[in-house]
Homo-oligomer: A and B are copies of this chain.
Amino acid sequence: MTIKDVAKNCGVSVSTVSRVLNQHPDVSEEVRQRILDEVERSGYIPNNSARDLVKSRSDAIGVVVRGTGNLFFASVLKTVSDEIERYGYTMVLHFISSDADEVKAGAILEREKKLQGLLFLGGRFDYTPSELSVIGIPFVCCSYTNCFGDLNEKDYSSVSIDDFATAYRATEELIRRGHRRIAAVIPSRDDRSISELRYHGFLKALEDHGIPADENLIEETGGCFEMPETYEGVCRLLKRTEDFTAMFLLSDTAAMAGMKALEDHGRRIPEDVSVIAIDGLNVSEYAIPTLTTLIQPAEEMGQESVRILMNMLKDPHYTRHRLLDAPLREGASVRSI
């Protein structure tokens, strides 16, 4: 099926079909509808190669995803992909491990794929202007901000939840339910990134409620967000002490691994230990028991990130920093004591 066949079947010229497919206004509504019906019926697919050849710029948007087993990013990625396409751009996707350098990966991608813009799905929170000077195109930090760094706010955009405040609220929810012996199993106290920020939110909530932080109840997983390392971390904690009634973890998958470790040590959830986390993944709704968690709005985060990047492409002076709400999703993993 070619454009000639469509024209012939509709009794019009090839250029009329072409005008309709390219959305020129100078064709009557009746003819336009007839042609579109025929295109639909025949399965003809317009070939845009000729048009593409005269495009002088690439239409590529790079997306660097940090942390390959991150289910939250997987849920954002779908929206990001759809949105980039909806704006008429092509997504160039690159996965890196959670300890790799997303800036370098982005810079290489920028040059190799002649990108127009970049979206980082996860990254460090402590960029310096000189580190970022290798990026020569507009970029958006999706799910994080530069709060430990000294980038000028006008040099980049970001869309994220307030990690400190969200961790604070998660901890406060446990306190509100009567818990005072609260453990935290976290990737790292001082990664200059998401783990440090959420850990400080946790500490501040304890402090504001007059609960002394107990070193014995904090366990690090060597910088790792993955389930096996979190499982091991909770096992180490349990070996040291069982003297806690609640546990805070930084992601839903970490919490699921943590609940498994508790269960394997005969600690029932929430009867013996309440568990709370941050993410709001679909899969953790089906955890046994359903995980109580603060929802990072994946779809909104993806939409906003792409929308802001598109504005940055149009207007070189446009930047935006958006903090999204992270509402509580009440599950059955936290009980009042």
Contact = CB atoms under 8 A, between A and B. Distances in A.
B227 A111 contact: no
Contacts of A74: 71, 74
Contacts of A47: 111
Contacts of A93: 81, 91, 93
- Which range contains the number of A residues in contact with the other chain? 35 or more
Q: Which of A45, A111, A113, A283 gathers the greatest number of chain B CB atoms within 10 Å?
A: A283
Contact of A288 (B71, B263, B285): B263
Interface of A: 43, 45-49, 52, 68-69, 71, 74, 78, 81-82, 85, 90-95, 104, 107-108, 111-114, 134, 227, 231, 253, 256-257, 259-260, 263, 282-283, 285-288, 290
Given A81-B95, A94-B85, A134 B43 contact: yes
A92 B91 contact: yes
Nearest to A107: B45
A288 B286 contact: no
A330 to B, nearest CB: 16
A215 B48 CA distance: 51
A45 B106 CA distance: 11
Given A91-B93, A231-B286, A288-B263, A45 B134 contact: yes
B81 A49 contact: no
Contacts of A282: 69, 227
